[in-house]
Structure 1
Amino acid sequence: MSQAETKPRMNPQQPNSGLENTFHLGKPGTGELVPSRYALRIGEIDVLVVSDGVLPLPTKMLGHNADAADRAAWLDDMFLPPDAYDWALNVVVVRSGEQTILIDAGLGLDPDLNLPRAGQLIKRLEAAGIDLASVTDVVLTHLHMDHIGGLLIDGVKDSLRPDLRIHVAAAEIKFWEAPDFSHVSMPPGFPDALRAAAKQFSKEYRGQLRLFDEEYEVAPGVVVHRTGGHTPGHSVVRLVSGGERLTFAGDAVFAVGFEHPDWYNGFEHDPEEAARVRVRLLRELAANGELLVATHLPFPSVGHVAVTGDHFRSVPVFWDY
């Protein structure tokens, strides 16, 4: 089975015509043993989830306000190792009408962090047959380096079109002028790396920024909404077309957040608000049955949200081969 064959059919009565000529170009990445891209269609909108790889982080990052024994129990229940957890890094490419939209840009390459299994986005876009010059818009859920780093790789800016529009919440740009790290719980080195990446991004791309306050329709059926919480300008992207819906939640939802939405993630700058945002979003998704994709859910992360007692439950889609 090739990577190009992994796509779900969201409505069996509505075949995915056009996907074969859009997101199924190119050959699988050389030497890859697992799929790294996953295509689906939301009404008339083509969607491609692309893996930027994984980065290992201390398990305390899953919930630094939780008791260590509770974290260990969750990891054990999930058959995961106790000390380091591989965080998935998912990016989405959307085609709506004449626009090709990149939602987030992955980690990029930061040699000081020694994360060789991440930063795969650019080569995987190439393997999928997606030319950077075809991207008309970029939407950034926030400015953490694992969401903007791909734009900072040498040569990438020169490959992008000069009239590229980069959509980001105005509150996010304001925050990174003097970021507050007093409520986070990150490994050493990460705050400095985050500051440096945000500063470099603002310097290189300021002329292409298109700022919004609360929400903005980037393309037909593609709307970005500011949620705050994770960062002041953190945003989610809602896709709506043909009666179908999908939300790309960025860092509003993590794997542990279904069972423990009140656990504070180590990268959250306002963890109390982030927890409120998470609960509101999961309740909404459970109520309306729409699809969820998020940056750090296991690839391809496409699934639904259900409610079981006092907890939420992630229900992955069945892959359609």
Structure 2
Amino acid sequence: MNINRRNFLGMGGTAALAAPFIVRPNLLSAHEVGLDAGAIPSYAKRRVGSAEITVLLDGTIDVGQDLIVGFDQDKANKTLKQQHLPAFESTRPLPVLGHVIDTGERKIAIDTGTLPGFSPKTGGYHAALKQAGIDVTEIDTVLLTHLHPDHIGGLSADKKRLFPNAEIVVNSTEWDFWHGSAADGLPSQVQPFVQIARDLTEPYKDRLRTFDNDAEVLPGIQAKFMPGHTPGHVGFHLHDAGEDLLFWGDLIHLPRLQFNNPEWLIAFDMDPAQTAKTRARMLDMAAADRVPVTGAHLEFPGFGYVDQTANGYDFVPAAYDYSL
């Protein structure tokens, strides 16, 4: 379904998140893991040092323009025209990506896409894994940027782990928020998100590891604390054989619009003021340090660089890696 204000209730401050649809119980006990109607799974690969990175396309979510905080129709259309795209009439697609890092010694997933039934055009994460030839039993670690449904949806189904040999690694602030009294106190419209976070992580309670802020979570992978979108939202910075890649989670949601208009937020951002500060800091860092980046909602395949411009930023896609 399209997400707009008629099916999304924005709350102020740290309670800004609300359910964009009514979650029915069968969404939490999926009848089939893989491709939902409308989703087109796909994957691509590139190398960072000695590590092989696979990006997985789960699908897209149609987002209404009234969910963009600070949206200006004329600016949006000008931005899209510069990219040879049609005007923003009603919705824009929000891509949903997941990643797998293969170091040769271990396989590490970063986020796991949506759960079946989340949106008509999503649910392709596990099908994309199969297309890429990745066996879920070989993944030993799942790093989670945060606990929104489009990042943990592929973790489990019918109360069973879909990564049977993996531990999940989550920022401690993020885990404590969604599993604590603060989430219990969110409005009723938000409680489906809370229940999804708890239900999909429950099978991993005995395989859970939490960390604080900018900790090194695995050899060569350092967390980057990026609060605002959620209380414990993080990215992960991979450094391997002298090369880098920053997985920045939900720093940007609508790349066709928000690089050129970085002050525009999205109603999913739970703390708008902190989100704006975090985005400004990370975009400045990425541009100044020339750090290659990728994220959960960049245009597939989503690898590239950030350039600073007079009025904002540009995203420069990385050249295709023909070596893989």
TM-score where L is the length of structure 1: 0.79
2:173 alignment partner in structure 1 = 171
Q: Percent identity?
A: 32
In the TM superposition, 1:88-237 aligns within 5 A as 88-110=95-117, 113=118, 115-154=119-158, 157=161, 160-161=164-165, 164-176=166-178, 177=180, 178-179=182-183, 191-237=190-236
Question: For residues 88 and 94 of structure 1, what CA distance do their matches in structure 2 show?
Answer: 20
Distance in 2, Cα, partners of 1:154 & 1:199: 13
Contact 1:222 / 1:237 at 8 angstroms: preserved in 2?
A: yes
User: Are 1:76 and 1:82, in contact at CA under 8 Å, matched by a contact in 2?
Assistant: no
Answering whether residue 91 of structure 2 is matched by residue 84 of structure 1, we say yes
Does 255-264 or 72-81 show the bigger shift?
72-81
Aligned to 1:89, the other structure's residue is in SS state strand
Q: Does 1:49 align with 2:51?
A: no
Preserved contact between residue 109 and residue 153 of structure 1 (Cα < 8 Å): no
User: Which SS does the other structure have where 2:237 is aligned?
Assistant: strand
What SS does the aligned partner of 2:206 have? Answer: helix
Task: Please say if residues 72 and 82 of structure 1, whose CA atoms lie closer than 8 Å, have aligned partners that are also in contact.
Answer: no
Letter in 2 for 1:241: D
Amino acid of the structure 2 residue aligned with 1:284: M
**Number of residue pairs the alignment of both structures matches:** 280
Indicate the larger mover: 240-249 or 191-200. 191-200
Q: Distance in 2 between matches of 1:68 and 1:288?
A: 33
Tell me how far 1:219 sits from its aligned partner: 2.9
Task: Give the conservation status (yes or no) of the 8 Å contact 2:41–2:125.
Answer: no
> In 2, distance between residues paired with 1:50 and 1:302?
12
Q: What amino acid sits opposite 2:54 in the alignment?
A: L
Quick one: distance in 1 between partners of 2:321 and 2:40? 16
User: The residue matched to 1:136 in structure 2 has which SS?
Assistant: strand
* Cα distance, 1:287 vs structure 2: 1.1
> In 1, Cα distance between the equivalents of 2:266 and 2:192?
18
Summarize the Cα distance change of 1:181–1:289 in structure 2 as closer, same or farther, 3 Å threshold.
farther
Paired letter, 2:301: P
Deviation track 1:188-213 (CA, whole Å, cap 9, x = no partner) reads 96x34322211212433222110001
Partner letter of residue 135 of structure 1? I
* Residues in 2 aligned to 1:159 and 1:305: alpha-carbon distance in whole angstroms: 33
Whether the aligned pair in 2 keeps the contact of 1:145 and 1:193 (CA below 8 Å) is no
Which residue pairs with 1:19 in the alignment? none
Find the aligned partners of 2:242 and 2:290 in 1 and give their Cα distance.
12
Runs of at least 5 residues in structure 2 that lack an aligned partner in the other structure: 1-34
Judge conservation of contact 1:51–1:91 (CA < 8 Å) in 2.
Answer: yes
Relative to the length of structure 2, the TM-score reads 0.79
Check 1:300–1:80 CA distance in 2 against 1; reply closer, same or farther (3 A cut): farther
Cα distance in 2 for partners of 1:72, 1:35 equals: 29
Deviation at 1:253, TM superposition (A): 2.0
Letter in 2 for 1:173: W
Give, in whole Å, the separation in 1 of the partners of 2:120 and 2:149.
15
| Whole-angstrom CA distance in 2 between matches of 1:129 and 1:202 | 25
Distance 2:222 2:65 in 1: 33
Unaligned runs of 5+ in 1: 1-28, 183-187
CA contact (8 A) 2:63 2:92 kept: yes
* 1:215 alignment partner, SS class: coil
Contact 2:55 2:98 in 1 (8 A): yes
**Alignment match, 2:65:** 59
Cα-to-partner distance string for 1:272-313 (whole Å, 9 max, x where unaligned): 111111111111111111211111111011111101113111
Quote how far apart the aligned CAs of 1:264 are: 1.7
Q: Is contact 1:55–1:86 with CA below 8 Å preserved after alignment?
A: yes
Question: Taking structure 1 as reference, are residues 155 and 300 closer, same or farther at Cα in structure 2, changes over 3 Å only?
Answer: farther
